[in-house]
Amino acid sequence: MTGIRQLTEQDRRARAEANEGLPTLAFDATTPYDDYVGTEVLHQLQRPVTDVPEELSFLVTTQVMELYFGLLRSEWLLAQRQLDADDASAATQTIRRTVRHFQALNAAWASLSWLTPAQFNGFRDALGEGSGFQSALYRHVEFLLGNKSEALIRPHRRNPRAHRELVEALHRPSLYDSVLAFLARAGYPIPRAVLERDPVTEYEPDPAVEKVWAEVYAGPLAPLAEALTDLAEQFSDWRYRHVMAVRRSMGAKPGSGGSNGLSWLERSMRRQVFPELWTARTLM
């Protein structure tokens, strides 16, 4: 980053002393903050297509969510690498961190909770066929959580990078797959059929895995189980808030992306991630 000069603790102390405790006000070019955050570019990315004032809130909130999707993807890929290295402590810490990310992501729905049908209708037609269903990063997040579908990659065929990343994610183990493989290496009796299944296929709950989680909760890896449960709960909360935002702003009208809207989202909401983490509680 050309506008940023690294500072040591000694540099910062000297600067504060020279400034007599006041902030630095003079810079040779743009401020280091602007250079680091990319504020000039960031604030040029809001390009509403109507003059309806409510559209800007809708656009900014959507862009914030996209940034969080990218952050979650990066963090879960890191957690998978940590699990592959059998570092359960680091993976647990990373997953716990993403629970906080998800809390912030879910809170973003508050910026749209006031949107009435009349307000949404003021700019909805101008969005054309644009739909959150088409978010490549959200699709990647779902794939990492194990909700995979080859058909849902098709909208991105004209975007080579997004399409390639989604194809790779489809064929790679999900976060849950990585967790189960780690548990197997740690000595837990995960069935061979679960470990060797095709990662492209939808995960089917297994009673033996359910029993393993009950055992995990009695041992030192219980914090990993709870971090995953917290994550699954936050994801369920995300989908619920999405359903409620749609129900409030447009009711049961057809979706812009070609689906039947609310009914599609309600069906998606019923799909559980990390299923045996929930059913194992009956065995405890």
Task: Specify the pLDDT at position 32.
Answer: 84
Token pair for 63: 């862009």
Q: Would you list which residues are annotated within the binding site for substrate?
A: 124
pTM listed for this prediction: 0.91
Task: Specify the pLDDT at position 272.
Answer: 83
Task: Specify the pLDDT at position 184.
Answer: 98
Task: Specify the pLDDT at position 264.
Answer: 61
Task: Specify the pLDDT at position 45.
Answer: 95
d(CA 58, CA 62): 6
Q: Would you list which residues are annotated within the binding site for heme?
A: 242
* Structural domains of the chain in order of their starting residue, each with its CATH number: 9-41 (no CATH), 54-283 (1.20.58.480)
Classify residue 204 as exposed, middle or buried by CB count within 10 Å of its CB (0-12, 13-18, 19+): exposed
DSSP assignment of 148-217: --GGGGGGGTT-HHHHHHHHHHHHSPPHHHHHHHHHHHTT----HHHHTS-TTSPP---HHHHHHHHHHT
Q: Would you list which residues are annotated within the binding site?
A: 124, 242
Task: Specify the pLDDT at position 269.
Answer: 63
In sign, the C-alpha dihedral spanning 231, 172, 221, 215 is positive
Classified as helix, coil or strand, 85 is coil
| pLDDT tens across the length of the chain (284 residues) | 455 778 899 988 998 899 888 888 888 888 888 888 999 999 999 999 999 999 999 999 999 999 999 999 999 999 999 999 999 999 999 999 999 999 999 999 999 989 999 999 999 899 888 877 789 999 999 999 999 989 889 989 999 999 999 999 999 999 999 999 999 999 999 999 999 999 998 899 999 999 999 999 999 999 999 999 999 999 999 988 888 888 888 777 766 655 656 666 666 666 789 999 999 999 99
Task: Specify the pLDDT at position 261.
Answer: 60
